[in-house]
Structure 1
Amino acid sequence: MAEVSNDLIFEVLKQVQQRLDRVDHKIDEIKSELNALRGHQISMQQDVQNVYGILGRFDVRFDHIERRLEITEAPAT
């Protein structure tokens, strides 16, 4: 069996530490990207809510215009 020296263990541990540092860096990058995506998603949700609000107001206005012009559809009997 090969002799395991402290120097060999130290070199392996240094390599492991370097790899862990790279992994930590990549995880930090992924976190930043996820936070950016989360921000975009929140903005899109707010935009959709604004569109729904605007459409709701138009629906009310159209109903008012139809009643005023007396062009509402009669209920089917």
Structure 2
Amino acid sequence: MAEVDPALIYEVLKKIQIDVADIKADIGELKIRATATDEHLSGLFISTTGINNRMDRFDGRLDRIERRLDLTDAR
């Protein structure tokens, strides 16, 4: 059986440890970016909901105006 060099194993383990640390840092950055994206999308959904509510109010107002001016189609 071949001899195992502890120094070689130590060097390999140090490189693996550095790689794992780099991966952890990258994952941390990705989590931050994902959170920012989620927050941005939430803001867009809230904005879209507000716009839809305003459009619904405008639609109701337009219906009332049309009825008042007798501009509606006879159904």
- TM-score, length-scaled by structure 2: 0.94
Q: Distance in 2 between matches of 1:53 and 1:2?
A: 76
1:9 maps to: 9
What is the aligned length? Answer: 75
Q: Secondary structure at the match of 1:58?
A: helix
Q: Secondary structure at the match of 1:74?
A: coil
- TM-score, length-scaled by structure 1: 0.91
Q: 1:63 corresponds to which letter in structure 2?
A: D
Q: 2:38 corresponds to which letter in structure 1?
A: R
Q: Secondary structure at the match of 1:72?
A: coil
Identity within the alignment, %: 37
2:23 maps to: 23
Q: Distance in 1 between matches of 2:40 and 2:23?
A: 26
1:42 maps to: 42
Q: Distance in 2 between matches of 1:51 and 1:8?
A: 64
Aligned-residue CA RMSD (Å): 1.0
- Structure 2 unaligned spans of 5+: none
